[in-house]
Amino acid sequence: MSEACNTMLSEDDLHYLRRACALARHGLGDVSPNPPVGAVLVRGGEIVGEGWHHGAGLAHAEVEALTAAGELARGATAYVSLEPCNHHGRTGPCARALAERGIARVVFGTRDPNARAAGGAEYLRGAGIETFDAQMREAYRLIEAFAVAAVSDRPYVALKMAASVNGAIAARGGMRRWLTGEEARALVRGLRIEHDAVMVGAGTVRVDDPLLTVRPVHARRVPYRRVVVCEREPIPLDRRVLQRDPQVETVILAPRGRAELFRALEPFVRVVYADDEQGRLDLGAALRALKAMGIHSVLCEGGPTLAASLLALGLVDRLHWLIAPLLIVGAGAVSSVAGGEDFDIGGWRFDEVRALGADAYLSGRLRTEDRCSRD
């Protein structure tokens, strides 16, 4: 499987694009609602300028790289992980900045899915600058959350599930120790940092009493949101997610038909009511409410009832699946996905499979398009 679909690019082009993607990763966790972007300027086979986007309202990656290069930018090739923008927001259009500074050639990793900002490639070509779309999988993966949120009225939803080899998360009475090892838990901590919010079901809060924080909370991401889905009853007032924290905001999603039960929580947290025609919690409407609050990406950490609901409703954009080298057996074993139906993984394309210590990690998304950069 090639890492880019544009066969007109050289190995050097791919090398510098990978460098641009590596720079873009520095912005993960800081730049939302913008996408992470990195840029590298190369002239005469030497890197003359680099940059990445540090946060909304700050200089874009291309401008940072142009500033670093100074006069050496003229005649250089610009490698950018995302198509240079072509609109006036809090900063000016990067496509125009590249053209005005005399960039001779532009290679970008993937197209901008945001209609307001797209069109940079056409502008550059119109200015006589040789411009290539690499259709690079790595570049698209970096902006996957942004791409979903840019065209949807709900946030991007990533579901993290951890289970034994036979798909269980606990024996009768619950686990008495961690299911996965430290490397897997470190990966989950990193995933939390990359998303605007972490979400769990009320059952997880009642049984495990998690704190659901990120360490550190990035200055540009205050407050970090922890979301608890309550389909029936509110969570107890002594749960740790209800502790006041100036860096973290707790949001409770609840059906309006049960509002009286949740009044006691309202002094401590934000309660968002969303229900369907039967008076039950409407997860789709609840996610739309989160998007309206400025939450563009959510990491859902379960448990099994919430995971099953999100999967059944088609609301999961990416699955992070951790498998521990354990067998949990017995009549009381708890499945990682609630319900009587099997979870069919045939419709998912796992684009990352690797070992994390003794655990296995699979990450994938639904097969929705044949576009090469998204395979």
Q: Which residues are CB-neighbours of 196 under 8 A, at least 6 positions away? A: 32, 155, 221, 224, 225, 294, 295, 296, 297, 298
Quick one: 26 and 57 in the same domain?
yes
Higher pLDDT, 96 or 329: 96
What residue type is 346 in one-letter code?
G
- Exposure class string for 201-215: b at 16+ Cβ within 10 A, else e: bbbbbeebebebbbe
Give the mean pLDDT of the chain.
88
Q: What is the pLDDT of residue 159?
A: 96
Backbone angles phi, psi at 223, to 5 degrees: -85, 150
- CA–CA distances in Å: residue 254 to residues 274, 285, 297: 6, 11, 20
Query: Is the pLDDT confidence value at 13 over 60?
Result: yes
Across 40-44, 146-150, 334-338, 362-366, least confident range: 334-338
In a domain, 1, yes or no: no
Query: Which residue in 50, 62, 64, 83 is the catalytic one?
Result: 62
DSSP run (H or E) holding 276? none
Q: Which residues are CB-neighbours of 103 under 8 A, at least 6 positions away? A: 41, 73, 74, 75, 76, 77, 78, 129
Task: Confirm whether 62 is a catalytic residue.
Answer: yes
Quick one: 44 and 79 in the same domain?
yes
Quick one: 170 and 41 in the same domain?
no
Quick one: 31 and 119 in the same domain?
yes
At 173, the pLDDT band (50, 70, 90 cuts) reads: low
Q: What is the pLDDT of residue 219?
A: 53
Q: Rounded to an integer, what distance in angstroms lies between the CA atom of residue 349 and that of residue 368?
A: 10
Quick one: 169 and 94 in the same domain?
no
- Segment 244-264 shows an average pLDDT of 91
Q: What is the pLDDT of residue 330?
A: 57
Query: Is the pLDDT confidence value at 375 over 80?
Result: no
Higher pLDDT, 30 or 131: 131
Task: Give tens-digit pLDDT for 308-320.
Answer: 999 999 999 999 9
3-state helix, strand, coil in the chain (%, to 5): 30, 25, 45
CATH of the domain at 76: 3.40.140.10
Higher pLDDT, 1 or 325: 325
Query: Is the pLDDT confidence value at 334 over 80?
Result: no
Angle between helices 61-69 and 11-24 (to 10 degrees): 110
Quick one: 166 and 295 in the same domain?
yes
Query: Is the pLDDT confidence value at 2 over 50?
Result: no
CATH of the domain at 332: 3.40.430.10
Query: Is the pLDDT confidence value at 369 over 80?
Result: no
pTM for this prediction: 0.89
Task: Give tens-digit pLDDT for 260-283.
Answer: 999 999 988 999 999 888 888 999
DSSP run (H or E) holding 262? helix 259-262
Quick one: 133 and 117 in the same domain?
yes
Quick one: 186 and 332 in the same domain?
yes
Of 145, 160, 178, the last residue of a domain is 145
Higher pLDDT, 77 or 341: 77
Quick one: 164 and 311 in the same domain?
yes
Total domains in the chain come to 2
Across 42-51, 135-144, 205-214, 287-296, least confident range: 205-214
Question: Residue 311 belongs to what domain range?
Answer: 152-370
At 174, the pLDDT band (50, 70, 90 cuts) reads: low
Of 145, 168, 190, the last residue of a domain is 145
Query: Distance between alpha carbon 2 and the CA centroid of its chain, in Å?
Result: 23
Q: What is the pLDDT of residue 350?
A: 92
Task: Give tens-digit pLDDT for 177-221.
Answer: 578 899 999 999 999 999 999 999 999 999 889 999 887 665 556
Tokens of 225: 């949101």
Q: What is the pLDDT of residue 229?
A: 97
Q: Which residues are CB-neighbours of 354 under 8 A, at least 6 positions away? A: 360, 361
In a domain, 349, yes or no: yes
Quick one: 132 and 196 in the same domain?
no
Task: Give tens-digit pLDDT for 78-130.
Answer: 999 999 999 877 778 999 999 999 999 999 999 999 888 889 999 999 999 99
Strand-pair partners of 341: none
In a domain, 135, yes or no: yes
Q: Which of 93, 66, 96 is nearest to 79 (CA)?
A: 66
Query: Is the pLDDT confidence value at 6 over 90?
Result: no
Percent of the chain scoring above 70 in pLDDT: 87
In a domain, 38, yes or no: yes
- Segment 68-80 shows an average pLDDT of 98
Of 145, 168, 203, the last residue of a domain is 145
Q: What is the pLDDT of residue 178?
A: 73
- Segment 32-58 shows an average pLDDT of 96
